[in-house]
Amino acid sequence: MPHANTLPLAVPSLTAVLFGLSGCLVDFGARTRHGNPAAEHAETTPGALESLRSLQRQQIPCAWLDELPPALSHSLAAALPSWIKSSQHLATHAPWPAPNACWQALMALNVGQLDGCVLVSGEPRLLQSGLNAGLWTIGLASCGSLCGLAPTEWLALSPKEREHLRGQATMQLFSLGVHSVIDHLGELDTCLADISLRRLKGEKP
């Protein structure tokens, strides 16, 4: 029996959360990479704004990363809150999957430790960059480049077709070694809570 005065262990708070931009926060399906940018590409993905508001309430610093030209990426990010920082890494120096872009983003946030830092993305090369940087990683199955469908195309599929594509993307993401896979950012809060519990148990990325 535990002692009556024993207090439960506090779940460690996260240090910082990095997001991919295209195929994660905006641009469902990461379609900007495959053609001319369209207005719908700048629309936020399901759960994106709610996830950012939740992290802001918890005072967890956030930034987004992308390897698109700066003018294009900032145009895509127009619908995002102004407080989330952008990190435009010079890809010619150390392109993904090198870890440099993730480290640079964390330095821009004045983060003093890798412990408790998380990267969320639907782009395999960025997720590999996060793994190489020593971060916890969360892959997005449906809204990233692995499915590669615009929102209207995704919704036009039958439930069985969506499940098939989602399952294929999930297997590819886990094969990279990511720590968790979710469908979209609407499931992020639960996933981040799970990572916090895994950290409490001593698990490392």
69/73 Cα distance (integer angstroms):
6
Three-class SS of residue 16?
A: strand
With CA atoms as reference, report the closest residue to 118 among 16, 47, 23: 16
Cβ atoms of residues 40 and 149 within 8 Å: no
Q: What are phi and psi of 63, to 5 degrees?
A: -150, 155
**18-200 sits in which CATH class?**
alpha beta
The pLDDT confidence band at residue 89, using thresholds 50, 70 and 90, is low
- Domain extent listing, the chain: 18-200
* Segment 152-198, tens digit of pLDDT: 999 999 999 999 999 999 999 999 999 999 999 999 999 999 999 99
48/27 Cα distance (integer angstroms):
11
Find where tokens 């590999």 sit: 128
Tokens of 96: 């993904």
* Segment 4-63, tens digit of pLDDT: 444 456 677 899 999 999 999 999 999 987 766 667 788 999 999 999 999 999 999 999
Q: Which residues pair with 62 in a beta bridge?
A: 17
